[in-house]
Amino acid sequence: MLSINDKAPEFVLEGYIKDEIKTFKLANYKNKWVVLFFYPLDFTFVCPTEVKALSKQYDDFKRLGAEVFGISVDSVYSHRSWSKEMGELNFPLLSDFQKRISHQFGVLDEEGGFAMRATFIIDPEGKIRWLNVSSDDVGRNVDEILRSLAALQTGKLCPAEWAPGEKTLN
């Protein structure tokens, strides 16, 4: 698996957003913060709760200057169908149908054939600055992703329980 300060692997993937299938390249988001979250599969139990929660707080990510992308090994056609069932999302769902990107990021469950539940925050220079991988049974906390993104953007030391607007350690 990749580690903190590793360069994020480049990708070119098809994705679905707001009734369109488009091509997305990580290189197009250079000089921006990127929140990249991998999830196991469309049409499962925990995944829609996370995807909806991230979409609901999308404006908070935008206020912090971050782009958000969801990635699974499902096809863009599955993403389209699932998005329509959930309600349109505010960010694209990318298809890693060939499983290459999940493998490059080190989050492919080789035995199961799907991506693990993993989140990466990538800085404007393309370095991984924060990552979290959890059990498929436990959904992400979107507020913690936002808090971590804001903390990283301070460029300072942030203590436990730090929240935006509070003092940093230096």
Give yes or no for residue 100 having a pLDDT over 80: yes
User: pLDDT digits over 110-146, tens only?
Assistant: 999 999 999 999 999 999 999 999 999 999 999 999 9
Q: Please choose, from the candidates 126, 127, 76, 130, the residue with its C-alpha nearest in 3D space to the C-alpha of residue 118.
A: 130
Classify domain 12-141 by CATH number.
3.40.30.10
Please state the domain extents for the chain: 12-141
Apex 28 CA angle, 110 and 42, nearest 5 = 35
- List the catalytic residue out of 8, 17, 47, 94: 47
Q: What is the pLDDT of residue 170?
A: 77
Give yes or no for residue 1 having a pLDDT over 90: no
Q: Is 158 a catalytic residue?
A: no
pTM equals: 0.97
Evaluate whether 58 touches 87 at the Cβ level (below 8 Å).
no
